[in-house]
Amino acid sequence: MSTATLAKTATSATVEFRALRRTFGATTALDGLDLTVNPGELLALLGPSGCGKTTALRILAGFESHDSGQVLVDGEDVTRIPAHKRDAGMVFQSYSLFPHLTAIDNVAFGLRMRGTGKAQRRRRAQELLELVGLPQRAEHYPHQMSGGQQQRIALARALALQPRVLLLDEPLSALDAKVRLNLREEIRRLQQELGITTLFVTHDQEEALSMADRVAVLRAGRLEQCAAPSELYARPATAFVAEFVGTMSRIPCERAGEGTVSVLGRRHAVDGAMPATGDLHVLVRPENVLLAPSPQGPALVVSASFLGAVTRLTVRLADGTEIKADLPTEGATALPVGSAADIALPDRPVLVDRR
């Protein structure tokens, strides 16, 4: 296994985006992005389409210019350094291998450009092919390989020059579910073994939460929150993050005094700041909704979807509010579609947002 040799030479860089701005005509792609990536961490960039994820990566890699702000790698502003001297390895969403080159020549391409001798670059490229589990594919052309294999080759190519930073822009999104899961684990394992600072762009919140040390949620070119997956999920800083990461239902509630609301007939303390004015909603995750069969209950079960160990029910209240609730699948049989239930929230502070 060649990871040991690779790991020794790899360095872990700190990456900082400071007040980074980029506009395209009337479109603001990045609107003062502030974000620090720690040495050796895998940071997932998550956010809706068009929020500036790819733009941030392309500016870091040197493929795109910026209007103002800074991008620092180990404290040095890299925005004036040409792309090929930036030490960033990038893997894109679509397979971007050179179609006329074999796998091994694709991986060795950057080394060739750098003037590494043929024997040495082939040896190194072969090591990288082993690293990504495809040593026997060295002489295959891209069109002779599956999508998953091509992305592994692209990953090997990105790692060949021992970049200080690895940039992955939705590398798995074109792959089918199973290949995607395998490659997810493999990328994570490799990244940890090499200790390489990695920015991973994804649309898929599950992918972000399962792979990353920290997840940065972007919204309209700005950072909304950056935190460890568990914290992001349990303590979202804003309603936007709460609803973007995981599933949330909104339930209308009434103000019931300082820092307290009344919801589903009970009083709950509010978690964090309570908006000073306006009507409010409580935001609640499906696993935190408590349901019990009750013929006179206020919640009507309107649909059920089997998710394996849990079943997700949707219940409707008299005012039309729909709430999602996860039940252990065994328990859900007592609440068939059309039945009624009592509904409550656990006795703990709730997250609220304006209606």
Q: Which residues bind ligand ATP (CB under 6 A)?
A: 24, 27, 29, 47, 49-55, 203
Decide if 340 contacts 299 (C-beta within 8 A): yes
Q: How far is the CB of 145 from Mg ion (least distance, A)?
A: 24
Q: Which of 51, 54, 151, 221 binds Mg ion (CB under 5 A)?
A: 54
Decide if 260 contacts 269 (C-beta within 8 A): yes
Check the CA dihedral 228-47-52-166 and report its sign: positive
Q: How far is the CB of 54 from Mg ion (least distance, A)?
A: 3
Q: What does DSSP say about strands 165-169 and 88-91: parallel, antiparallel, or unpaired?
A: parallel
Q: How far is the CB of 152 from ligand ATP (least distance, A)?
A: 22
Contact range with Mg ion by CB under 5 A, out of 54-62, 171-179, 183-191, 298-306: 54-62
Q: Which is nearer to ligand ATP, 49 or 277 (CB)?
A: 49
Contact range with Mg ion by CB under 5 A, out of 47-55, 156-164, 186-194, 258-266: 47-55
Q: Which does 198 bind (CB under 5 to 8 A by kind): Mg ion, ligand ATP, none?
A: none
Q: Which is nearer to ligand ATP, 156 or 208 (CB)?
A: 208
Q: How far is the CB of 245 from ligand ATP (least distance, A)?
A: 15
Q: How far is the CB of 69 from ligand ATP (least distance, A)?
A: 15
Decide if 187 contacts 202 (C-beta within 8 A): no
Strand ranges (E), 95-248: 165-169, 197-202, 214-219, 222-227
Residue nearest to Mg ion (CB): 54
CA distance 263 to 345: 9
Q: Which is nearer to ligand ATP, 52 or 89 (CB)?
A: 52
Give the helix, strand, coil percentages of the chain, each rounded to 5: 30, 35, 35
What's the start-to-end Cα distance of the chain, in Å? 56
Q: Which is nearer to ligand ATP, 33 or 129 (CB)?
A: 33
Q: Which is nearer to Mg ion, 93 or 288 (CB)?
A: 93
CA distance 85 to 103: 24
Decide if 197 contacts 39 (C-beta within 8 A): yes
Q: Which is nearer to ligand ATP, 180 or 324 (CB)?
A: 180
Q: Which does 116 bind (CB under 5 to 8 A by kind): Mg ion, ligand ATP, none?
A: none
Q: Which does 29 bind (CB under 5 to 8 A by kind): Mg ion, ligand ATP, none?
A: ligand ATP
Decide if 194 contacts 6 (C-beta within 8 A): yes
DSSP string for residues in 72-99: EETTEE-TTS-GGGS-EEEE-SS----T
Q: Which does 50 bind (CB under 5 to 8 A by kind): ligand ATP, Mg ion, none?
A: ligand ATP
Q: How far is the CB of 208 from ligand ATP (least distance, A)?
A: 12
Q: Which does 226 bind (CB under 5 to 8 A by kind): Mg ion, ligand ATP, none?
A: none
Check the CA dihedral 123-186-214-107 and report its sign: positive
268: left (phi over 0), alpha (psi -120 to 50) or beta: beta
Contact range with Mg ion by CB under 5 A, out of 10-18, 35-43, 51-59, 107-115: 51-59
CA distance 294 to 341: 5
Q: What does DSSP say about strands 322-328 and 310-316: parallel, antiparallel, or unpaired?
A: antiparallel
Place of tokens 């408590």: 290
Q: How far is the CB of 95 from ligand ATP (least distance, A)?
A: 16
Q: Which is nearer to ligand ATP, 46 or 341 (CB)?
A: 46
Q: How far is the CB of 49 from ligand ATP (least distance, A)?
A: 3
Decide if 56 contacts 21 (C-beta within 8 A): no
Q: Which does 52 bind (CB under 5 to 8 A by kind): ligand ATP, Mg ion, none?
A: ligand ATP
Residues in touch with Mg ion (CB under 5 A): 54
